[in-house]
Amino acid sequence: MPKLRGPILSLGATGGLTKLFSLARRMGQNIIERKPIPVDAKSPAQLFNRHMFTKCVDLWHLLSEAEKAEWERLATPRHMTGYAWYISQCLRPNPGIYLPLQGGTMSGDIDMAKNRLLKLPAPTHNQEAATKGYADTHGMVAHESTHVKDGADEIDSALAIEAMAGLANTKIWQGNAAGRPAPVDPPAAGAVLVVAETEVFDGDSPTTWTDLDLSAVVGANSALVLLKIGNPT
């Protein structure tokens, strides 16, 4: 049954005429338009829009009375209800409001102003974040390089020295008195270790990885040791 505002034969009738057509007024003209009917009501786009609509409705019910009143205030000049204006903004391609991430919510001590998470627990997984304090107390440890002398991945000595010289005015890491890495700016001059096969050369004195005492080479407050692969001669 038609639900029109105005006589059906008048020039000002508007409203639904049938399930397929409706009368409307656009840009000062009365027109008849066909209602869009999706070909597949379960297409990915249709299901996505329905899912987003459901999420938006759930979020509306979580808003405080003050937040709902603010939406009502913004909707009044547009002759809409606060709920209708809110839903119209949620369903935009790029909504200008915050929508919770799918699959869960963030909770805890979050500093939104400074974009940081506070009071993080110690990480137990490779993909978990760690605090600066945790990183400072669990710093880099010495490990044997996998580069092979005279191989394709050999590091050229001259390039290594040049790279170290380029760090002269750059913030790098150095060992502290506790044997942990600590930031230094500007860095001090550091020792250079040359690795050749299984031997490590501290200056002209060869030694092995197992006998290498990095604490003695680095010292209490010396700059980061530079390890490079190549022939010390």
Average pLDDT, consecutive stretches of 10 residues, N- to C-terminus, the chain (233 residues): 58 61 68 69 79 87 90 91 89 64 59 75 78 68 48 50 44 47 48 54 57 54 44 47
Query: What pLDDT does 77 receive?
Result: 92
The verdict on 222 and 161 lying in the same domain is yes
The verdict on 24 and 69 lying in the same domain is no
The verdict on 181 and 208 lying in the same domain is yes
Residue ranges of alpha helices (H) inside 42-194 are 44-62, 65-75, 82-90, 132-137, 157-166
- β-bridge mates for residue 226, sequence order: 192
Number of domains in the chain: 3
Instruction: Give the range of the structural domain holding residue 27, as residue numbers without chain letter.
Output: 3-34
Please indicate, yes or no, if residue 98 is contained in any of the structural domains: no
- β-bridge mates for residue 29, sequence order: 26
Do residues 164 and 226 make contact, with C-beta atoms less than 8 angstroms apart? yes
CB atoms within 10 A of CB 224: 19
Please indicate, yes or no, if residue 165 is contained in any of the structural domains: yes
The verdict on 222 and 172 lying in the same domain is yes
The verdict on 190 and 221 lying in the same domain is yes
Beta strand pairing status for 199-202 and 181-184? unpaired
The verdict on 57 and 30 lying in the same domain is no
The verdict on 21 and 49 lying in the same domain is no
The verdict on 21 and 80 lying in the same domain is no
Query: What pLDDT does 222 receive?
Result: 45
Query: What pLDDT does 228 receive?
Result: 43
Please indicate, yes or no, if residue 110 is contained in any of the structural domains: no
Query: What pLDDT does 45 receive?
Result: 76
Do residues 85 and 71 make contact, with C-beta atoms less than 8 angstroms apart? yes
Query: What pLDDT does 59 receive?
Result: 87
The verdict on 188 and 221 lying in the same domain is yes
The verdict on 58 and 81 lying in the same domain is yes
The verdict on 30 and 48 lying in the same domain is no
Confidence (pTM)? 0.32
The verdict on 24 and 56 lying in the same domain is no
Query: What pLDDT does 73 receive?
Result: 92
Please indicate, yes or no, if residue 109 is contained in any of the structural domains: no
Please indicate, yes or no, if residue 20 is contained in any of the structural domains: yes
